[in-house]
Amino acid sequence: MSSGPVNRCFIKVAVPCPLRKCFDYSTHDCPAPGSRVEIPFGHRNLVGVVIATLACEPSRTVKPVIRIIDPEPVIPPTLLELMLWAADYYHHPVGEVILMALPPQLRTARVLTDPESVTVYSRNNEVSEESALSLLSRSRRQRQLYEHLQPDHRYSLAMLSRHPALSDMKNLKPILGKLVTRNLVSEASQFPTTDCPDIIPFPGQLTEEQLEAVNRVNQYAGIFQTFVLYGITGSGKTEVYLHIIEQILARGQQSLVLVPEISLTPQLVSQFTNRIGKQVWCYHSSMSPSDRYKTWWKARTGTAGVILGTRSAVFLPVSRLGAIMIDEEHDSSYKQQEGFRYHARDMAVKRASIENIPVILGSATPSMESMEHARSGKYKLLCLTERTGKSQLPGIFLVSLRKHPAPDGLSPHIVDAIAKQLDLKQQTILYINRRGFSPVVHCGRCEWQAKCPRCDARLTYHRSVSRFVCHYCGKAEHSYETCPRCDHRLSFLGSGTQRIEEALAKQFPQASIFRFDRDRLQSLESLHKAITQVSDQRIDIIIGTQLITKGHNFPKVTLVGVINPDQGLYSIDFRAPETLFQQLVQVAGRAGRGPDPGKVIIQTAHPRHVYLDIIRNHRFSDFYQVCRDEREMTRLPPFSHIALWRASSVRAGAGLEFLGLVQQMGTELINALDLDTIELMDPVYSPMQKIDRHYRAQLLVKSSNRRLLHKLLGPWVRAVEGTRANRKKIRWSIDVDPMDLY
């Protein structure tokens, strides 16, 4: 008998491998796009995600899938669309994009289960107790357990193992398993009843500006629109988010709130839970895989009212998404700096457009890109120009380091101001963007400097551990006091957090001082503890790096000192002025958030610098004008779209040679595709030429038209991926919309 035609279906699968393409397989049942399948790949079996079903049989023979893991898609269609778009836009392998966006537990062949369901056991009523006991007459432990189960009661494993009568039974689970197989006990899943407590209403009254912002966003239910919520520090942006969220919950929908990496503190979470109750779920990379999975599940089933997460939360399958909010939208932690280099803010805007919902980008210092969109009218601008309640913006004063020497980094102005703070029992933040004791170890006689042998960087003296440390590769060596070349006594120049800490301890022995930097706060937990100590006013003076600038609300901080911002004024990085401006405004915004007025002192050798002048006079919107002119003149974002090729290699010239080849391919494509508006620079060594023994080179591409840039990048990246040169000991990447050109 001849066999009839076998019903077969062909599918396109994204596989987690570094290739920029999908692979075809065959199946009997046709899984929907977004479902996971287990597939043979090379010598291994991998988990991939179905992207599409093919209309016809591929010309090449394809292997069958091993099994379809999900009966229904784990990735809903709109999210799959976003991921495919992202892989295309960032020119990154699609399999890596999709699998990275799943919680770790779903990257394996594990089947989906409700993380909150519990297996419960009960007697099988179909079998009489009498016959059951006779069946079990020879199995003492099974019998004992069976007798323990009361008819018509349900027991979870945890309940049983806690019971004293069963305490001598070690492995309850296999015994229960046997009873189930013998059909004497049945097992079932039980779901906890969900309790959603009421929303606790806002005790205060929204300001007119807050109300206006909330109302305008609420008009866009089910309509795509990007808003920039430009609200000065302390203007109550969080309360605006909360009111929008309330409306969305009332419609039975969910909200996604993204926050920068370091800001997901217990303080922020309780600010949300205090109002929205148990419907708030967190998602960030330091959570355990099972907690992440729980939030993922709650998002997907629509049971999480609000999801509060960092960058990667933008890829959660929130099934009834009503709006996305991005707090501190200017923050650079939204851009992933390695592997799949996506920008979570840009992803959020794209997602909102796919889902037809509003997206709100909030900040006291919005990015140049967002402000430019607001200017052009593409984004709608919502302004909060006043602080809430009684608090006012702090006065800002500049101290010239040319006129007033600052031994150990502290000018007399700052020392006096701190003394007053201590008298008044108020808190002070000193902001300095350098860890360690001294960033320059120098010989005054022969000009020798301590440099890292692996990197293009100076070593920083860390006095507390007696080491010279490289902040790029982490290399540390024992410190010494005399010049290794001429034996002269070494000088330790410049100030880091540790030197300031020492100087303060000498000046103010009675004060409690806390250093808030990565050396001191290595875990998230220690960071959270420190924040609580500051809130409880157990600390008088906080010395901090950027860690302290972000979003915190400490009402008793009334003085902020900036030790030395000058590095940022003359940096070669095109975003340095913007970053400096954002950091200064943010740290200044920590001052005077309570009823007492605040004061900010900035020490600088360049008190006349235009940016510092703008900050001193609170003319923040002027900053955007000045910076805009600079970017327009140099044709940098937002006045052009850029992409950066990076290559690194152990041999000094290899990366540069490779990028020479890349440039050649690019030029050919530009000619072939007639894209003469695209500017292709020459490959150069990166400003940080060497990090951790690898030489780094880069090649910049600029275009005034985004579409044309991507028309070039697509075939270009594929061509580079296909070259033989690519295989040779070179690590390369393409960074679309890079944050820096280092």
Contact footprint for Zn ion (CB under 5 A) = 443, 445-446, 448, 452, 454-455, 470, 472-473, 475, 483, 485-486, 488
Task: Please select the residue that binds ligand ADP; options are 27, 142, 226, 238, rule is CB under 6 A.
Answer: 238
Partner whose binding site includes residue 452, from Zn ion, ligand ADP, none (CB under 5 to 8 Å by kind): Zn ion
- Give the nearest distance from C-beta 465 to ligand ADP in angstroms: 36
Asked if 358 touches ligand ADP (CB under 6 A), the answer is no
Asked if 236 touches ligand ADP (CB under 6 A), the answer is yes
Encode 31-92 in three state secondary structure.
CCCCCEEEEEECCEEEEEEEEEECCCCCCCCCCECCEECCCCCCCCHHHHHHHHHHHHHCCC
- Give the nearest distance from C-beta 587 to ligand ADP in angstroms: 13
Can you point out the beta strands (E) in 259-314? 280-283, 306-309
Distance of CA 29 to the CA centre of its chain: 38
Closest CA to 446 of 489, 416, 411, 404: 489
Encode 610-655 in three state secondary structure.
HHHHHHHCCCHHHHHHHHHHHHHHCCCCCCCEEEEEEEEECCCCHH
Nearer to Zn ion, 479 or 558 (CB): 479
Can you point out the beta strands (E) in 470-522? 476-478, 490-493, 513-516
Nearer to ligand ADP, 263 or 332 (CB): 263
The structure tokens listed for 416 are 């006096």
The 3-state DSSP composition of the chain as helix, strand, coil percent (nearest 5) reads 35, 25, 40
The structure tokens listed for 30 are 């046709």
DSSP notation for 428-470: EEEE-S--SSBSEEEETTT--B-B-SSSSSBPEEEGGGTEEE-
Asked if 237 touches ligand ADP (CB under 6 A), the answer is yes
Q: Residues 308, 259: contact at Cβ < 8 Å?
A: yes
Task: Please select the residue that binds ligand ADP; options are 77, 204, 474, 595, rule is CB under 6 A.
Answer: 204
- Give the nearest distance from C-beta 337 to Zn ion in angstroms: 18
Question: Phi and psi for 253 in degrees, rounded to 5?
Answer: -115, 175
Strand 694-703 and strand 684-691: the pairing is: antiparallel
- Give the nearest distance from C-beta 568 to Zn ion in angstroms: 22
Q: Residues 477, 483: contact at Cβ < 8 Å?
A: no
Residues of span 293-312 touching ligand ADP by CB under 6 A: none
**By Cβ distance, which residue is nearest to ligand ADP?**
236
Asked if 239 touches ligand ADP (CB under 6 A), the answer is yes
Nearer to ligand ADP, 213 or 654 (CB): 213
Partner whose binding site includes residue 382, from ligand ADP, Zn ion, none (CB under 5 to 8 Å by kind): none
Encode 377-438 in three state secondary structure.
CCCEEEEECCCCCCCCCCEEEEEECCCCCCHHHCCHHHHHHHHHHHHHCCEEEEECCCCCCE
Asked if 595 touches ligand ADP (CB under 6 A), the answer is no
Question: Interacting stretch for ligand ADP, rule CB under 6 A, among 99-107, 233-241, 625-633, 698-706?
Answer: 233-241
- Give the nearest distance from C-beta 389 to ligand ADP in angstroms: 5
Nearer to ligand ADP, 174 or 389 (CB): 389
Task: Please select the residue that binds ligand ADP; options are 233, 255, 411, 549, rule is CB under 6 A.
Answer: 233
Asked if 260 touches ligand ADP (CB under 6 A), the answer is no
DSSP classification of residue 191: P
Nearer to ligand ADP, 112 or 206 (CB): 206
Partner whose binding site includes residue 488, from Zn ion, ligand ADP, none (CB under 5 to 8 Å by kind): Zn ion
Partner whose binding site includes residue 266, from Zn ion, ligand ADP, none (CB under 5 to 8 Å by kind): none
Nearer to ligand ADP, 528 or 609 (CB): 528
- What residues have CB less than 8 Å from 375, skipping those under 6 apart? none
Closest CA to 244 of 232, 229, 264: 229
Nearer to ligand ADP, 297 or 554 (CB): 554
Distance from C-alpha of 330 to C-alpha of 620, rounded to nearest angstrom: 15
Partner whose binding site includes residue 388, from Zn ion, ligand ADP, none (CB under 5 to 8 Å by kind): ligand ADP
Q: Residues 674, 682: contact at Cβ < 8 Å?
A: no
- Give the nearest distance from C-beta 592 to ligand ADP in angstroms: 12
- Give the nearest distance from C-beta 43 to Zn ion in angstroms: 38
Asked if 444 touches ligand ADP (CB under 6 A), the answer is no
- Give the nearest distance from C-beta 205 to ligand ADP in angstroms: 6
Q: Residues 520, 232: contact at Cβ < 8 Å?
A: no
Residues of span 380-419 touching ligand ADP by CB under 6 A: 388-389
Task: Please select the residue that binds ligand ADP; options are 210, 411, 586, 604, rule is CB under 6 A.
Answer: 210
- Give the nearest distance from C-beta 647 to ligand ADP in angstroms: 41
The residue type at 161: S
Distance from C-alpha of 345 to C-alpha of 336, rounded to nearest angstrom: 11
Partner whose binding site includes residue 234, from Zn ion, ligand ADP, none (CB under 5 to 8 Å by kind): ligand ADP
The structure tokens listed for 257 are 């709130």
Nearer to ligand ADP, 123 or 237 (CB): 237
Residues touching ligand ADP: how many (CB under 6 A)? Answer: 16
Task: Please select the residue that binds ligand ADP; options are 231, 317, 494, 561, rule is CB under 6 A.
Answer: 231
Question: Interacting stretch for ligand ADP, rule CB under 6 A, among 76-84, 204-212, 282-290, 703-711?
Answer: 204-212
Nearer to ligand ADP, 184 or 259 (CB): 259
Residues of span 514-573 touching ligand ADP by CB under 6 A: 553
The structure tokens listed for 402 are 């040319």
Can you tell me which residue has the tokens 């029992």? Answer: 425
Partners of 461 in the β-ladder = 438, 468
Question: Interacting stretch for ligand ADP, rule CB under 6 A, among 58-66, 178-186, 230-238, 572-580?
Answer: 230-238
Closest CA to 57 of 5, 3, 11: 11
Nearer to ligand ADP, 204 or 453 (CB): 204
Task: Please select the residue that binds ligand ADP; options are 35, 225, 226, 235, rule is CB under 6 A.
Answer: 235
Nearer to ligand ADP, 202 or 570 (CB): 202
Distance from C-alpha of 599 to C-alpha of 611, rounded to nearest angstrom: 19
- Give the nearest distance from C-beta 460 to Zn ion in angstroms: 10
Distance from C-alpha of 585 to C-alpha of 395, rounded to nearest angstrom: 12
- Give the nearest distance from C-beta 455 to Zn ion in angstroms: 3
- Give the nearest distance from C-beta 344 to ligand ADP in angstroms: 19
* Chain residues in the site for ligand ADP (CB under 6 A): 204-207, 210, 231, 233-239, 388-389, 553
